[in-house]
Amino acid sequence: MRRFPRAVQAYIVAVIASGGAALWLCSRGSLDTADLALISTLALPGILAGMRPLPMVYSHLRINLTGGILLMAVFLCSPSAACLLAALVALLSALALRRTLWNVLFMTSVNTLSVGFAALLYQEVALPNALPLDTPANLLALFLSSSGYWVTISGLVTILVAGRNGEMVWRAYVNNWREVYLQCILLTLLAVLGAAAWRQGPAYALLLLVPAIAIYQLLSLTRLKQEQVIHAAEIIAEVLDRRNPFTFQHSERVAEHTVRIAREMGMGQADVEVLRRAALIHDIGKLGVDDRSAELVSCKGDLTDYQFYSLKQHAQMGALIAREIPAFEESEQPIRYHHDWYDGSRSSTPHAGDEIPLGARILAVADCYDCLCMGNGEASLAYDPMAVEELTTMGGRRLDPDILEVFLRILQAEQSRRPANARMAGASHG
Chain centre to alpha carbon of residue 363: 19
Q: Of 132, 111, 26, which Cα lies nearest the Cα of 64?
A: 111
pLDDT tens readout for residues 284-316: 887 766 554 444 444 555 666 666 677 777 788
| Helices 79-96 and 101-125: angle between axes, nearest 10 degrees | 160
Domain assignments of the chain as residue spans, ordered by start: 6-207, 224-429
Residue of higher predicted confidence among 40 and 267: 40
Residues 6+ apart with CB under 8 A from 339: 308, 311, 312, 315, 346, 348, 364
Residue 424, pLDDT > 80, answer no
- Burial code (b: 16+ CB inside 10 Å, e: under 16) for 245-277 equals ebbeebbbbbbebbbbbbbebebbbebbbbbbb
* pLDDT for position 429: 45
Looking at the predicted structure, is the pLDDT value of residue 418 above 70?
Answer: no
Could you tell me the pTM of the whole model?
0.65
379 vs 384: CA distance, rounded Å? 9
Average of per-residue pLDDT values in the chain: 82
CATH 3.30.70.1140 holds for 6-207: no
C-alpha to C-alpha distance for 255 and 367, rounded to whole angstroms: 9
Mind listing the pLDDT tens digit for each residue in 327-340? 788 888 999 988 88
Please tell us whether the domain made up of 224-429 is placed in CATH 3.40.630.30.
Answer: no
Please report, in angstroms and rounded to a whole number, the separation of the first and last CA atoms in the chain.
Answer: 39
Q: Does residue 279 have a pLDDT over 70? A: yes
| 3-state SS record for 333-383 | HHHHHCCCCCCCCCCCCCCCHHHCCHHHHHHHHHHHHHHHHHHCCCCCCCC
Q: Distance between CA 326 and CA 229 in Å, rounded?
A: 9
Cα angle vertex 154, ends 152, 156, to 5°?
65
More confident site: 166 or 367: 367
pLDDT, position 294:
44
